[in-house]
Structure 1
Amino acid sequence: MATVSLENLRKVYPNGHVAVADASFDIDDGELLVLVGPSGCGKTTLLRMIAGLETITAGTLSIGGQVMNDVPPKDRDIAMVFQNYALYPHMTVAENMGFGLHLRGMPRADIARRVDEVARLLELEHKLAARPAALSGGQRQRVALGRAMVRQPAVFLLDEPLSNLDARLRLSTRVEIARLHRRFGSTTIYVTHDQVEAMTLGQRIVVFDNGEIQQIDTPMNLYERPANLFVAGFLGSPAMNLLHGTLHHDDGLTLATAAGSIRLGLPPQHAALERWHDRQVVVGIRPEDLRLLAGDDPGMALAARLEVVEPVGNEVFLNLRHGELALVARTPPGTACAACDTVRLGLDPQRLHFFDPHDGTRIG
Structure 2
Amino acid sequence: MATVSLEQIRKVYPNGHVGVEEASFAIKDGELLVLVGPSGCGKTTLLRMIAGLESISSGTLRIDGHVVNDVAPKDRDVAMVFQNYALYPHMTVAENLGFGLQLRGKPKDEIARRVHDAARLLELEHRLDARPAALSGGQRQRVALGRALVREPKVFLLDEPLSNLDAKLRLNMRVELARLHRQLGTTTIYVTHDQVEAMTLGERIVVLDGGRIQQIDTPMNLYLRPANLFVAGFLGSPAMNLLRGKLHRENGWQLILPNAAFFPLGALPAQGTAVETWNGREIVLGVRPEDLQPIEPHAAALEAQVEVIEPVGNEVFLNLRFGDQRIVSRVSPQQIPASSGSLHLGFHSDRLHFFDAESGARIA
Amino acid at match of 1:284: G
Contact 1:118 1:150 in 2 (8 A): yes
Amino acid at match of 1:350: D
1:226 aligned to 2:226? Answer: yes
Deviations 1:175-232 (A, max 9, x none): 0000000011110000000000000000000000000000000000000000000000
CA apart distance, 1:62: 0.3
What is the SS of the residue equivalent to 2:271? helix
Structure 1 stretches of 4+ with a deviation exceeding 3 A read: none
Checking the alignment, whether the CA contact within 8 Å between 1:92 and 1:130 is kept in structure 2 is: yes
Match of 1:115 in 2: 115
Describe the superposition over 1:42-68 as per-residue Cα deviations: whole angstroms up to 9, x where unpaired.
000000000000000000000011000
Aligned-partner SS, 2:126: coil
Is 1:265–2:266 an aligned residue pair? yes
Match of 1:314 in 2: 314
Q: How far is the alpha carbon of 1:262 from its aligned partner? A: 1.6
Structure 1 residues 278 and 166, CA, compared in 2 at 3 Å: closer, same or farther? same
Q: Which residue of 1 aligns with 2:292?
A: 290
Instruction: State the match for 2:100 in structure 1.
Output: 100
Kept in 2, the 8 Å contact 1:290–1:345? The answer is yes
Partner of 1:191: 191
Normalized against structure 1, the TM-score is what? 0.98
Report the secondary structure of 1:272's partner residue: helix
Matched residue SS, 1:80: strand
Unaligned runs of 5+ residues in structure 1 are: none
Distance 1:162 1:195 in 2: 13
Counterpart position of 1:54: 54
In structure 2, the partner of 1:301 is 301
| 1:66 and 2:66 matched | yes
Find the aligned partners of 2:188 and 2:3 in 1 and give their Cα distance.
Answer: 10
1:278 aligns with 2:284: no
Same amino acid, percent of matched pairs:
70
Are the structure 2 counterparts of residues 259 and 142 from structure 1 closer, same or farther at C-alpha, using a change threshold of 3 Å?
farther
TM-superposed CA distance for 1:259, in Å, is: 5.0
CA offsets 1:266-309 (integer angstroms, 9 cap, x no match): 221111211111111100000000000123x56x4211110111
Partner of 1:28: 28
Q: Secondary structure at the match of 2:38?
A: coil
Superposed displacement of residue 251, structure 1: 2.8
> 1:9·1:56 contact (CA, 8 Å) conserved in 2?
yes
Map 1:211-222 onto structure 2 (within 5 A).
Answer: 211-222=211-222
Distance, in Å, in 1 between the alignment partners of 2:99 and 2:357 is 54
Q: Which residue of 2 aligns with 1:354?
A: 354
CA contact (8 A) 2:44 2:159 kept: yes
Aligned with 1:169: secondary structure? helix
Query: How many residue pairs end up in the alignment?
Result: 362
Whether contact under 8 Å (2:316, 2:336) holds in the other structure is no
For 1:255, the equivalent position in structure 2 comes to 255
After TM superposition, the score normalised by the length of structure 2 is 0.98
